[in-house]
Structure 1
Amino acid sequence: MSENCLFCGIVAGSIPSQQVAENERAIAFMDINPATRGHLLVIPRAHAKDLRESAPEDLTAATLLAQSLVTTVIERLDADGANLLSCIGADAWQSVFHTHLHVIPRYKNDPLQLPWHPTPGDMEEIAATAAELR
């Protein structure tokens, strides 16, 4: 637990939330700034700044909980799909520095647009980058 972490406060019960699911290592609750109807956050109970610092067991528990919630939001909210998103670092839109996964239900005509607009890349650059990562 981190003393100044909003999500640790939610885990501890000192900050109210609309919790919808949990397992031994993770909880899921409604995002109070929803991108779409049904937007959830799934967090490990243990504090870590982002997924790079999370214990593998915590990431597994959070991911499995998120997986079940994707099915739930599609079935119960009649969503057409869902995005699963983890932001790592302020420049990647992370605003709460506690590992979390966004489960964002998607609807055919919802207004959400991510800033990424896929365009074809340079295949040589892609191959060179792949080599750097191997």
Structure 2
Amino acid sequence: MTSASYDNNNIFAKILRGEIPSHRIYEDNDTIAFMDVMPQAPGHVLVLPKAPSRNLLDADPVVLAKTILVVQKIANAVKEAFDADGVFVCQFNEPAAGQTVFHLHFHVIPRYEGTALRPHSGRMEDNAVLAAHAEKIMAEL
């Protein structure tokens, strides 16, 4: 387990509370999925549990089980919506591993043969593009 505590003011907690807008594509009682505002490829989605967990290391196993089922559902929808060759699913734990937002989340990114991922540059995608991508994915759910 991690020794750091969960920060209720992280950006994903604010999104969950509706304090920051997001392009939501899926939500149930336990999880939410929305478009990454700095996508590494068109169709990049984030899936996270609603329960506060800093990351995989401190998450309740029941929460993990429910979340990974949604990750699979979203991965299938993303692959279909973007006619991708594959889907990259990744998850980071603690700063040394690349975690920058400390609420458990999974990246679901469509992949194509011979096409590199864009870096997580800090450049936000246009809202109209994110909305269009969200609609494409929701049509596959």
Sort the TM-score into its range (normalised by shorter chain): 0.7 to 0.9
Structure 2: gaps (5+ residues): 1-5, 120-141
Q: Deviations over 1:82-101 (max 9, x none)?
A: 11101001111101000011
**For residues 1-40 of structure 1, what are the structure 2 equivalents within 5 Å?**
2-40=7-45
Question: Which residue number in structure 1 is paired with residue 110 of structure 2?
Answer: 105
Determine which structure has greater relative contact order: mean sequence separation of CA pairs < 8 Å that are 6+ residues apart, divided by chain length: 2
Is contact 1:35-1:104 (8 Å) kept? yes
Please, which moves more after superposition, 97-106 or 55-64? 55-64
- One-letter code of the match for 1:43? L
How far does residue 23 in structure 1 lie from its aligned partner after superposition? 2.0
How far does residue 49 in structure 1 lie from its aligned partner after superposition? 0.7
Structure 1: gaps (5+ residues): 115-134
Which one has the largest radius of gyration?
Answer: 1
Matched, 1:65 2:70: yes
- One-letter code of the match for 1:47? P
Q: Deviations over 1:20-50 (max 9, x none)?
A: 0122111000011111110111011011111
How far does residue 111 in structure 1 lie from its aligned partner after superposition? 2.1
Matched, 1:83 2:88: yes
TM-score w.r.t. structure 2 length?
A: 0.75
How far does residue 113 in structure 1 lie from its aligned partner after superposition? 7.7
Task: Calculate the aligned-residue CA RMSD, in Å.
Answer: 1.7
